[in-house]
């Protein structure tokens, strides 16, 4: 079905199942250990062999020689895959660097060999016996050093790389109040619980890979492309995923190497990336340097807003889209953004939860706090003052089919200026949040509050994230007993996809939730939106909605009535005085409907975005500078909330990740040796329970008929955007120390704290 006109009233609006806080339908499987993750398919491949990945010991250069002689004769070894013996490999459309390196090395810990053995321990032992001689080449590893010579990027995800409206330079120069500040954000690792893992099995020239991947169809295509085999010959199965955060959007070395290993060993092969390989072997969120310039009237109206951003990646890589929200969030006649991309020889940069806005808001929302102080205006009021209901600079239309589309939409640069947001309750979020948080009790003067040894402060930041829509298909079966089975290659990365999809089918067909069985993550199912860019819940349920509509029509047709006259409820269908159990209509053959939702011009006619506000209170230890978050509140306006329980879990998780970004997460770059040094979970710190205090989430009651028939939008990435800045602003309010370089570790605060010794 094409979605071209705003949604009108439809069966979802009954809200008998949708919109209710619902426990995860797959929850019991997970708690009982029966949900099978990629490494745990013990029954589909009896007697699998185990692979162990060897990562490059250098960042850039060549392999001069590999000596496999000792490893080959090591106990239990079945095969060793290297670029030398793997045959000709292609490169996936979504990969920047090769997933099996050699002889050329593109980055540290790039996979250079896979040892396959009878047991994991034997594979690991043999891997230690491989001797590799490298020839190092000099590389660029320092973003700050590469900054000034970095060229303009081609595009950013979802838009163009640079934009201009009016006369920014002139207006900024003339503005009576100016802010010009530079902020930095570090490289970050997804650090999800489950490492990238795959079990590969060949049957003739057909390959099945049980894996952990957010985007089944992209993965299927790229795995085929890498192995130079037809896409039809590849099947991916990924029903349960232990977190991804964007790190599993793309096929990675585990899937490619398991497939090659299985071919070489003529046995099914399992590969899980070793934890210590993950930060350098896989993708990461790139570091940014961001310069923000804001010019205002004395009353605080923005007249000039400029955002320059720099990030780095391997040749042919992608920039971080940090400037994205600056085109959309605040009013202002004169505007500019520019995105520059340096070539760095660090591992591949790519998407991580809310790519673009996550980093962009870290900078922009400190800048707004600094501006508020300069103006002597409350930071909540300053944001409200500069609200806009029309797009001030639409350089970022969501692309139609593929939210990660590399081509971008350059012609659209100015095209959408002045178009309306489909929904924009930004002011409402700020006002409600301020009231619930008790914002009026905050002292505008920094370093004014103390609780024992702790300096107390509060901070606010906007939350903003685009709402992207993309085609999504599903198949729905109705059986003779009235049971419903939904099949789509959509994934559940811990977000609750199973549950919202079951809720959608239950609502549409009028059956109880427990009569719906949802099957996900299999490339033999219809192609869905997949999970990424917070588009998954809205798009995949819309696809299920489309398939269910079709099924309703089939039911009506069987009864010889019009679907609009039929009432589906309690597992029955009623028309006039006929009242038939659904199973009876389906008959012994059952009914099967398949359809897709395809998003049309609405996505271009309106700007679709999600909004929110984050409020944070911190304590900073007066002596040691340790920051501990004391309470957090997020208010979100993100369309219809399909399952408030799962949505809340997503937002508190995102807030937690935002605390990590604010206070501790940083991949430390060794600028001489060219790698991320802290590449394990002991040294790359993410928040632990003790770091996370009371968290509150409020969802505004909103529906967005422009977005989809579900009238929903994404929310899981909105939850992270702005959090770190709210923490940073709270730290400033507590201490009077303004830190513009994330993470805000205590060493950056010590010099500004009161004398205690």
Residues 655-674, interacting with another protein (CB under 8 A): 663-664, 668-670, 672-673
Could you give the CA distance from residue 685 to residue 748 in angstroms, rounded to a whole number?
A: 17
Mapped onto helix, strand or coil, the DSSP state of residue 145 is: helix
State yes or no: cis peptide before 743, omega within 30 of 0. yes
Q: Where are the alpha helices (DSSP H) in 462-593?
A: 497-509, 536-559, 582-586
* Choice from 35, 80, 81, 125 touching another protein (CB under 8 A): 125
| Least Å from the CB of residue 193 to another protein | 15
* Alpha-carbon distance values, 698 to 114, 121, 638, 653 (Å): 48, 49, 11, 14
- Using CB under 8 A as the binding rule, the residues of this chain from 64 to 93 that contact another protein are 75
Q: Quick check: 689 binds another protein (CB under 8 A)?
A: yes
Cα distances from 422 to residues 15, 127, 435, in angstroms, run: 22, 55, 26
Interface residue with another protein, options 301, 621, 631, 645 (CB under 8 A): 621
H helix count then E strand count, the chain: 17, 32
Answer yes or no: 121 catalytic. Answer: no
Please report how close the Cβ of residue 225 comes to another protein at its closest, in angstroms. 30
By beta-carbon proximity to another protein, the closer residue of 20 and 628 is 628
CB of 274 to another protein, least distance (A): 9
CA angle 14, 19, 22 (to 5 degrees): 125
Pick the closer one to another protein by CB: 372 or 655.
655
Q: How far is the CB of 630 from another protein (least distance, A)?
A: 12
Among 152, 193, 444, 453, binds another protein (CB under 8 A): 453
**Phi and psi at residue 397, to the nearest 5°:** -70, 140
User: Interface residues for another protein in 138-177 (CB under 8 A)?
Assistant: none
DSSP β-bridge partners for residue 675? 670
Residues within window 391-420 making contact with another protein, judged by CB under 8 A = none
C-alpha atoms less than 13 angstroms from C-alpha of 203 in its C-beta half-sphere? 7
Taking the complex as a whole, the smallest distance from the CB of residue 674 to another protein amounts, in Å, to 11
**Smallest gap, in angstroms, from Cβ of residue 671 to another protein?**
8
Element (H or E) spanning 278, and its range?
A: helix 278-281
* Smallest distance, another protein to C-beta of residue 691, A: 5
**For residues 134-171, b (16+ Cβ closer than 10 Å) or e, as one string?**
beeeebbbbbeebeeebeebbbbbbbbbbbbbbebeeb
Among 128, 376, 418, 600, binds another protein (CB under 8 A): 128
Q: Which stretch binds another protein (CB under 8 A): 355-363, 411-419, 593-601, 683-691?
A: 683-691
For the chain, how long is the longest CA-to-CA vector? 87
CB of 40 to another protein, least distance (A): 21
> Any contact of residue 46 with another protein (CB under 8 A)?
no
Neighbours of 217 (CB within 10 A): 18
From candidates 233, 678, 696, 752, binder to another protein by CB under 8 A = 678
Supply the DSSP symbol for 153.
P
Q: Which is nearer to another protein, 82 or 423 (CB)?
A: 82
CA–CA dist 559, 584 (Å, integer): 11
Do 157 and 323 contact (CB within 8 A), yes or no?
no
Asked if residue 631 binds another protein (CB under 8 A), the reply is no
Tally of CB atoms within 10 A around 625: 21
Q: By CB under 8 A, is residue 448 in contact with another protein?
A: no
| Stretch in the footprint of another protein (CB under 8 A) among 289-297, 338-346, 503-511, 622-630 | 622-630
Q: Is 116 in the site for another protein (CB under 8 A)?
A: no
Catalytic residue among 365, 373, 594, 717: 717
Contact string 717-756 vs another protein (x = CB under 8 A): ----------------------------xxx--xx-x--x
Q: Measured from the CB atom, is 63 or 591 closer to another protein? A: 63
Judged by CB under 8 A, the number of residues near another protein is 44
The Cα–Cα gap between 320 and 261 comes to 34
Burial class (CB in 10 A: 0-12, 13-18, 19+), 440: exposed
N- to C-terminal Cα separation, the chain: 70
- Interaction between residue 688 and another protein (CB under 8 A): yes
Q: Is 57 in the site for another protein (CB under 8 A)?
A: yes
Q: Which of 164, 628, 645, 738 binds another protein (CB under 8 A)?
A: 628
Residues lying near another protein in the complex (CB under 8 A) are found at 57-58, 75, 121, 124-125, 128, 276, 452-453, 621-626, 628, 663-664, 668-670, 672-673, 677-680, 682-683, 685, 687-691, 745-747, 750-751, 753, 756-757
Active site residues: 717
């Amino acid at each position: 079905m094409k979605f071209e006109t705003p949604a009108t009233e439809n069966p979802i609006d009954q809200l008998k199942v949708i919109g209710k806080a619902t426990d995860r339908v797959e929850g019991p499987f997970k708690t009982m250990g029966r949900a099978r993750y990629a490494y745990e398919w013990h029954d589909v491949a009896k007697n699998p062999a185990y692979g162990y990945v060897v990562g490059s010991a250098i960042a850039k250069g060549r392999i001069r020689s590999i000596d496999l002689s000792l490893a080959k004769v090591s106990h239990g070894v079945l095969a060793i895959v290297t670029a030398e013996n793997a045959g000709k490999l292609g490169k996936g459309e979504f990969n920047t660097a090769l997933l099996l390196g050699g002889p050329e090395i593109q980055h540290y810990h790039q996979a250079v060999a896979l040892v396959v053995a009878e047991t994991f321990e034997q594979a690991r032992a043999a891997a230690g016996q491989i001797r590799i001689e490298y020839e190092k080449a000099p590389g660029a590893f320092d973003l700050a050093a590469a900054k000034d010579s970095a060229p303009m990027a081609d595009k950013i995800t979802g838009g163009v790389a640079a934009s201009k409206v009016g006369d920014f330079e002139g207006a900024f120069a003339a503005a009576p109040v100016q802010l010009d500040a530079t902020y930095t954000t570090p490289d970050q690792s997804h650090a999800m619980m489950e490492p990238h893992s795959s079990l590969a099995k060949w049957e003739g020239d057909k390959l099945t890979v049980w894996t952990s991947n957010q985007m089944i169809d992209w993965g299927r295509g790229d795995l085929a492309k890498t192995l130079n085999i037809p896409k039809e010959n590849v099947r991916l199965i990924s029903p349960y995923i232990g977190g991804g955060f964007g790190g599993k959007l793309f096929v990675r070395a585990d899937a490619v190497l398991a497939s090659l290993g299985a071919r070489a060993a003529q046995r099914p092969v399992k590969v899980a990336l070793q934890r210590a390989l993950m930060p350098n072997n896989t993708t990461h969120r790139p570091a940014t340097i961001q310069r923000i310039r804001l010019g205002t009237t004395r009353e605080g109206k923005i007249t000039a807003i400029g955002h320059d951003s720099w990030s780095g990646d391997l040749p042919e890589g992608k920039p971080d889209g940090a400037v994205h929200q600056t085109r959309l969030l605040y009013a202002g006649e004169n505007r500019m953004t520019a995105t520059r991309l340096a070539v760095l020889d660090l591992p591949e940069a790519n998407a991580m939860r809310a790519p673009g806005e996550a980093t962009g808001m870290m900078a922009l929302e400190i800048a707004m706090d600094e501006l508020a102080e300069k103006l002597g205006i409350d930071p909540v009021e300053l944001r409200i003052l500069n609200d806009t209901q029309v797009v001030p600079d639409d350089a970022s239309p969501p692309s139609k089919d593929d939210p990660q589309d590399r081509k971008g939409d350059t012609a659209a640069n100015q095209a959408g200026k002045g178009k309306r947001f489909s929904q924009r309750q930004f002011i409402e979020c700020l006002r409600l949040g301020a009231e619930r948080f008790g914002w009026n009790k905050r002292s505008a003067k920094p370093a004014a509050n103390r609780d024992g040894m702790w300096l107390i402060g509060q901070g606010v930041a906007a939350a903003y994230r685009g709402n992207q829509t993309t085609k999504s298909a599903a198949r729905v079966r109705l059986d003779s007993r009235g049971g419903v089975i939904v099949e789509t290659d959509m994934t559940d990365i811990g977000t609750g996809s199973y549950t919202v999809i079951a809720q959608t089918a239950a609502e549409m067909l009028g059956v109880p939730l427990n009569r719906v069985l949802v099957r996900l993550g299999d490339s033999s199912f219809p192609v869905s939106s997949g999970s990424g860019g917070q588009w998954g819940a809205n798009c995949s349920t819309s696809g299920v909605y489309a398939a269910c509509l079709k099924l309703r029509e089939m039911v009506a047709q069987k009864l010889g009535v019009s679907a609009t006259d039929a009432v589906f409820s309690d597992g029955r269908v009623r028309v006039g005085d006929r009242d038939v159990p659904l199973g009876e209509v389906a008959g012994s053959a059952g009914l099967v409907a398949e359809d897709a939702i395809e998003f049309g011009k609405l996505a271009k006619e309106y700007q679709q975005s999600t909004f929110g506000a984050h409020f944070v209170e911190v304590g900073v230890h007066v002596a040691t500078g340790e920051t501990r978050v004391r309470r957090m509140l997020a208010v979100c306006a993100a369309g219809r909330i399909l399952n408030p329980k799962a949505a809340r879990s997503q937002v508190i998780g995102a807030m937690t990740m935002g605390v990590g970004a604010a206070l501790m997460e940083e991949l430390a770059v060794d600028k001489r040796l060219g790698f991320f040094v802290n590449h394990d979970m002991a040294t790359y710190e993410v928040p632990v329970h003790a770091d996370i205090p009371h968290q509150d989430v409020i969802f505004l009651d909103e529906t967005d008929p422009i977005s989809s028939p579900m009238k929903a939008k994404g929310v899981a990435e909105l939850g992270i955007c702005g959090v770190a800045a709210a923490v940073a602003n709270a730290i400033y309010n507590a201490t009077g120390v303004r830190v513009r370089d994330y993470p805000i570790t205590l060493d950056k605060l010590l010099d500004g704290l009161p004398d205690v010794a």
